[in-house]
Structure 1
């Protein structure tokens, strides 16, 4: 069984043999003599960290078009660093499956009924995937990793604080985000600088996860108090978004944290606590959650609306979109219509129910199946499995070395669990403010990759 799982997850994958036989990979380092004589490229990784920082610093405040331009600039700089690289390292099974997913998407464009629209989606996807590769390279430096995580946490605190201010002083609701027939029809849902409460809740998840990890990694009383403040502010702001998907994501995030904390600390536990700690903790948290739902009217109404089916207008809208999307998948099951919302917007009107226009499938998994078919969905799910498996392996390795960097990996996997949980019912995952954070979390895991040997 273990050997089968190791084969599926590429646990013993060694990139050196594969890369040495790759003609494409031979371009890496082609201009390495130029790098040795360049003054700026001596600080190549530090400049790269600065470019990534600017994405996170300005992401919540500027248009998606400007973010796209900056991603193009990062792609160009990644090309320069790759061609002038002096070491051919940093390739992992995660990189391999990211490349495979891009390849399936390219095939989907070639076979798409709307090739021009799908090609524009492929360009956007390429920019995000290059951003992942670039981040995975820069994050191999512990110093730059701490810097970039600090930037994410700092901006997250600004965004979360403004959201809480909106809750205290009130804010205009930019759309009908609540069911107009509900008792909460006039309730405030905060959106901070992002203009949408569901988008804000997804944006805050990585900051919450990294804030928890920072409490364990950062040394000194003041940094630990800052980490607690960031976590509490962003958690409160996420609650005030009123996003049911965000609340489900928070439950998934906490569950993943508890499981991975158990992996990290289990060697310090007695046999009794190894057996009973998780059931007790999950039971207590479940009881507290149930008590909160029963005692807070607004929370109870909002949570119960999840289970009323079509009686809630938001639920009804999503169900109608999902039915149309399933018909789209049924007609092109293997390779889909091609990536991107432009391709979706051209094909979806042919299947939609009257008055239920939509810009996406309102589910990341359904959107992936629509865009790249069941083949692309399988590669994407396989990528998720490999990323989590690699992350757990590296967490155990770092734990054995007493390296606190393992906490960053715990936070990355927990944030990914939260984002995927919300992604089951929404597609804010595709917005650049969230998608860049998602690939940053994946890159955190990939940056720590070290191949196992049979003894390990």
Structure 2
């Protein structure tokens, strides 16, 4: 990576201030922490271990296995890999001399886990809630391991490249389904609509909405790769991934996925504008945003007007209960609101098993559901107002953290900042999709969600004021 020999005095002061305040905060915490005393327990053994000289690359292998296999194998096998990753992270932590890389994002994640633990204790279905808590804990270990491994720029690039290549395999098969047709595994279209017999691509994931959620991160990171990767071959792979994944997402006919893509691209362009704003001529600083958004709004309007399948799917969003999918969600939401009303503070406990145990007591006849069909309502059901507030606090922390790092990396003119832009845009896309669906909780999406959060958190220890460099 390039080394910058000089940094402005402002950047030096900002980096030194951040490092000093962070050290002060954590020194107070670790002074009375029993858990912190366990860190370094196996450090003498690690110093003599040949294998752990390659600690981070081995972690990247475990991460790569999850990314490579999650779309193709059962959730049970993914769970086994997550258990292996959790064990490996604990081994590394116990063999470290210091607890490195802990960020405010980590602390909010820990608080989020703590609230989920309390929710289990007060759950009316403790056994089912405990099952969901175990799964959540594995995902958070996955986050911790990913945040550690992604601190390395080379491992970060390899991990993202692997994910984009896997997404290409997924998308190519999905596009093949769109072209040649494929058996629809469920009634995904309103049987009374003109699109009742239309094909919706689902590739290897078995569900078009799940496929759409999976592709959001790939689209966002492929845009970033166009800026970060340097060779024409790398940029060609990134451009191919962007075009193929975008078309495949369109082929899913997922209305939530389409809306999420609009949100993702809007945030990405706003951050892109912020990145280049100071280098733009005065005219473009004022008019670039209005002109670009007007152009894309016109392009979208023309597509809706002249592409009939697209128009019919978009119009169904505003059909209310006349569309069967809308009606189903609204009916489930009515029951979910009653569940929230009865247990408002800590909910029923995490996981779909707890939801499946309680929801039948509230469901309307013939409206069986496996989730709340909104990740925000799901949080309120599972962890109550306390857990939902903690989740919002985590999102605010992630956003603030992203803004700090994007600003810092922009001031240093480091293209790695586009990975942060790609991560936060993907997070916004998944949160937008989560307004009307809960594929966010599936392993294929949940691992990507925490990978994006880890990508953001991995930049926190990257600024080294002594070396005036990002390592």
Q: Residue 16 of structure 1 is aligned with which of 17, 23, 26?
A: 26
User: Is 1:62 equivalent to 2:73 in the alignment?
Assistant: yes
Asked if 1 retains the 8 angstrom alpha-carbon contact of 2:305 and 2:311, the reply is: yes
Deviations 1:57-105 (A, max 9, x none): 1111100111011101111111101100133221111101100010000
Q: Residue 454 of structure 2 is aligned with which of 443, 448, 452?
A: 443
Distance 1:387 1:127 in 2: 20
Query: Aligned ranges for residues 297-316 of structure 1 at < 5 Å?
Result: 297-316=308-327
Instruction: After the TM superposition, list the runs of 4 or more consecutive aligned residues in structure 1 that deviate by more than 2 angstroms.
Output: 10-23
Paired residue for 2:174? 163
Q: Residue 97 of structure 1 is aligned with which of 108, 119, 122?
A: 108
Distance 1:286 1:17 in 2: 51
Distance 1:82 1:332 in 2: 37
- TM-score where L is the length of structure 2: 0.92
Distance 1:333 1:16 in 2: 33
Query: Aligned ranges for residues 34-183 of structure 1 at < 5 Å?
Result: 34-183=45-194
Asked if 1 retains the 8 angstrom alpha-carbon contact of 2:376 and 2:435, the reply is: yes
Q: Residue 218 of structure 1 is aligned with which of 203, 206, 229?
A: 229
Structure 1 unpaired stretches of 5+: 1-9
Distance 1:403 1:19 in 2: 33
User: Is 1:412 equivalent to 2:417 in the alignment?
Assistant: no
Distance 2:127 2:276 in 1: 52
Structure 1 residues 400 and 190, CA gap change in structure 2 (3 angstroms): same
Structure 2 unpaired stretches of 5+: 1-17, 464-471
Asked if 2 retains the 8 angstrom alpha-carbon contact of 1:13 and 1:93, the reply is: no
What is the deviation of 1:357?
0.7
RMSD over equivalenced CA pairs, Å? 1.6
Distance 2:462 2:290 in 1: 33
Paired residue for 1:185? 196
Distance 2:101 2:291 in 1: 40
Asked if 2 retains the 8 angstrom alpha-carbon contact of 1:13 and 1:451, the reply is: no
Asked if 2 retains the 8 angstrom alpha-carbon contact of 1:90 and 1:447, the reply is: yes
Paired residue for 1:274? 285
User: Is 1:230 equivalent to 2:241 in the alignment?
Assistant: yes
Deviations 1:314-341 (A, max 9, x none): 0000000101001100111111000000
Paired residue for 1:3? none
Distance 2:37 2:353 in 1: 35
Aligned residues: 444
Asked if 2 retains the 8 angstrom alpha-carbon contact of 1:394 and 1:450, the reply is: no
What is the deviation of 1:450?
4.9
Distance 1:144 1:37 in 2: 24
What is the deviation of 1:30?
1.5
Q: Residue 259 of structure 2 is aligned with which of 235, 244, 248?
A: 248
SS of the residue corresponding to residue 336 of structure 1 reads: coil
Distance 2:30 2:81 in 1: 32
